[in-house]
Chains A and B, each alone.
Chain A
């Protein structure tokens, strides 16, 4: 595959004694949407959170192997975790805006990076909100508390917040699972728009969603990467029987 953004090589992950990810190797292509599917507890969220090292915060976590982002193994000792997280933004399953104003939510990422220029912050906030397709809904009330927004709006706000620090990769952990169908549709459309600029990796429980929005699909089971291919092939002619069984809903 050409234009590889992230190269995962023999990646293992343990929580204490549980071996959560087993020898995962895969190449993730730039400016595409890569969907990650699999039954609950298969390690797909852990895999996603390994890419921005969010698992570091968990006690007893241990990673082996390599995840190479732009030629650098992010698990090298001399790597700056903060730098990795800036490059790989994250959107969580449950929308989690800060208890601050809409504006301050977006500006937060810039401010912690030391940006003081008010004009620039304003510009970035507007741009991020436009990119996340929520600008028109909030432009008149940027000073209102983010909690006043609906669930779907909050999630797009969180996407905007992630975009504000200009990441290269956006990691999404079931971003639409808590949303109603209309809000889900909006987020899905947004993802299609975003892949022009960002590399997107999305964990989803929803098979149809994976089929609709992802260019590549990876199927995880019990911590192993079972199959990984172009989405259209995965959903029509999977190589492995177990992939087919899962995709056709025989278990899950």
Chain B
């Protein structure tokens, strides 16, 4: 009796530790980013860091400058562009899967969509260089197709599985009684989908797209390979851009330790962390509210 109770306690403790690890890692990363960033902000003013578009940390003849505004703009541009492509496609696919497709088609298509999420980002980036880039160059008559648009297209592909899968779940969880009520009033299937089911599932769909967006913002390898990495303020989607993630990936390997430049890269990481954290939190709140409404 005493033995089994001890065992019970051990198992309880073990699982508690497992849960604790995730929290400790999160807090640890956040603490690391903050402490390193603080060193950066001893030299750089916060407003200049965020809102100046002049990033030249290795300047030798003039004072180095650390403004990441163009990177923030580039990051949002690429991610929002991705969302604009992925959202209609994703919702369309989700609606098709939940309402139009036969059970057989759904059983085949849904796993395929989910496998799409497992393709390594470097492979997607590779496709960006050899496939999407040349197509963009041809269509828009640019010298090369490595630009914000390319990044957006690739990120859209990467965000699609999340958006499709979660949107389909949201549409599926719309009570059947809504659908029946609508059909019984003489609505067509299409009217029912657009006017009843999608609005009823809207918060789930919004949460899905925000999660997709969160992923797009943090994505590094793909954008690094496909967006051309030109450090300047983008004027259009056909400009090459350098995102926050690309900057960190490119520069962190070569920067001398414990310099302002080094700390500034951590500060970029902190900004990214905060952005994705806020986005995830908002989508979580929306999702919870949505679950409550459905119940």
CB distance from A132 to the nearest CB of B (A): 14
Query: Do A89 and B178 form a contact, CB below 8 Å, given A99-B199, A99-B200, A108-B195?
Result: no
Contact A85 B180, beta carbon cutoff 8 Å:
no
Residue-wise, chain A 69-103 has the 8 Å CB interface mask toward B (1 for contact) of 00000000000001101100110101011111000
Residue-wise, chain B 155-197 has the 8 Å CB interface mask toward A (1 for contact) of 0000000000000000000010110111111111001000110
Contact A109 B178, beta carbon cutoff 8 Å:
no
CB distance from A29 to the nearest CB of B (A): 22
Query: Do A109 and B186 form a contact, CB below 8 Å, given A96-B175, A99-B293?
Result: yes
Query: Do A96 and B177 form a contact, CB below 8 Å, given A86-B186, A162-B185, A165-B185?
Result: yes
Chain A CB within 10 Å, residue with most, of B177, B182, B186, B199: B186
Contact pick for A82, options B175, B181, B186, CB 8 Å: B186
- List of A residues within 8 angstroms of B200 by Cβ: 98-99
Contact A89 B199, beta carbon cutoff 8 Å:
no
Contact pick for A112, options B175, B191, B293, CB 8 Å: B191
- CA–CA, A223 to B181, complex, Å? 25
CB distance from A93 to the nearest CB of B (A): 9
- List of B residues within 8 angstroms of A108 by Cβ: 182, 185, 187, 195-196
Q: Which residue of B lies closest to A52 (CB)?
A: B184
- CA–CA, A165 to B183, complex, Å? 13
- CA–CA, A108 to B192, complex, Å? 10
CB distance from B204 to the nearest CB of A (A): 12
Contact B180 A54, beta carbon cutoff 8 Å:
yes
- CA–CA, A155 to B182, complex, Å? 15
- List of A residues within 8 angstroms of B178 by Cβ: 96, 98-99
A57 at the interface (CB under 8 A from B): yes
Contact A158 B181, beta carbon cutoff 8 Å:
yes
CB distance from B180 to the nearest CB of A (A): 7
- CA–CA, A113 to B191, complex, Å? 10
CB distance from A228 to the nearest CB of B (A): 25
Chain B CB within 10 Å, residue with most, of A90, A96, A158: A96
Contact B183 A54, beta carbon cutoff 8 Å:
yes
A161 at the interface (CB under 8 A from B): yes
CB within 8 Å of A: which of B10-41? none
- List of B residues within 8 angstroms of A112 by Cβ: 182, 185-188, 191, 195
Contact A85 B177, beta carbon cutoff 8 Å:
no
- CA–CA, A83 to B185, complex, Å? 10
Q: Which residue of B lies closest to A57 (CB)?
A: B183
Contact A54 B196, beta carbon cutoff 8 Å:
no
CB distance from A26 to the nearest CB of B (A): 22
Query: Do A85 and B199 form a contact, CB below 8 Å, given A96-B181, A98-B181?
Result: no
CB distance from B107 to the nearest CB of A (A): 14
Q: Which residue of A lies closest to B202 (CB)?
A: A99
CB distance from A164 to the nearest CB of B (A): 8
CB distance from A192 to the nearest CB of B (A): 23
Contact pick for B183, options A85, A97, A111, CB 8 Å: A85
- CA–CA, A52 to B186, complex, Å? 10
- CA–CA, A94 to B176, complex, Å? 12
- List of A residues within 8 angstroms of B293 by Cβ: 99
Chain A CB within 10 Å, residue with most, of B175, B183, B185, B199: B185
- CA–CA, A16 to B71, complex, Å? 60
- CA–CA, A92 to B177, complex, Å? 8
- List of A residues within 8 angstroms of B187 by Cβ: 82, 108-109, 112
Q: Which residue of A lies closest to B189 (CB)?
A: A57
What 4 A-B pairs come out closest when comparing CB atoms?
A96-B177, A86-B186, A90-B184, A109-B185
A82-B186, A112-B191 given; name 20 further pairs at CB < 8 Å: A54-B184, A57-B180, A86-B186, A89-B184, A90-B184, A96-B175, A96-B177, A97-B181, A98-B200, A99-B178, A108-B182, A108-B187, A108-B195, A109-B185, A109-B186, A111-B195, A112-B182, A112-B188, A112-B195, A158-B181
Q: 29 A–B contact pairs at CB < 8 A? A: A54-B184, A57-B180, A57-B183, A82-B187, A85-B183, A85-B184, A85-B185, A86-B185, A89-B184, A89-B185, A90-B184, A96-B177, A96-B178, A96-B180, A98-B178, A98-B181, A98-B200, A99-B293, A108-B185, A108-B187, A108-B195, A109-B185, A111-B195, A112-B187, A112-B188, A112-B191, A161-B185, A165-B185, A165-B186
